[in-house]
């Protein structure tokens, strides 16, 4: 994986995701921590062709956009699809 900086708006968030839920107090602490210290743990994405697709870090990404952060740190993994001819239905 490589570490890069990207505009948060360029990352695609898949429709089907498992999401954590926070109560209001925890969410406000999370928002304040990003205001004070920024995003400490990079967001994880997978590169599929030219698209960056979110794997982990949706709350960090959404809050980065809400707070107007110009870039976020990303760990990028490249997805390589290999089609096995034995698995293809004819």
Beta bridge partners of residue 33, listed in sequence order: none
What pLDDT score does 4 carry? 93
pLDDT digits (tens, 9 = 90+) for 30-75: 999 999 999 999 999 999 888 999 999 999 999 999 999 999 999 9
Domain ranges of the chain: 2-78
Using alpha carbons only, what angle is made at residue 88 by residues 82 and 90, rounded to the nearest 5 degrees? 150
Better-scored residue on pLDDT, 90 or 10: 10
- Judged by DSSP in three states, 23 sits in coil
What pLDDT score does 46 carry? 92
Whether the predicted pLDDT of 80 surpasses 80: no
36 neighbors 5 (Cβ within 8 angstroms) = no
What pLDDT score does 87 carry? 56
Mean pLDDT of 12-24: 83
Question: Does the domain at residues 2-78 carry the CATH identifier 3.40.640.10?
Answer: no
pTM of the model: 0.77
């Amino acid at each position: 994986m490589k570490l890069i900086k990207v505009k948060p708006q360029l990352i695609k968030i898949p429709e089907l995701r498992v999401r954590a839920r926070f109560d209001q107090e925890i969410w406000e602490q999370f928002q304040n921590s990003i205001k004070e210290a920024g995003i400490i743990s990079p967001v994880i994405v997978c590169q599929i062709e030219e698209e960056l697709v979110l794997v982990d870090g949706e709350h960090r990404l959404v809050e980065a956009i809400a707070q107007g952060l110009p870039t976020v740190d990303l760990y990028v993994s490249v997805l390589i699809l290999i089609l096995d001819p034995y698995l293809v239905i004819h």
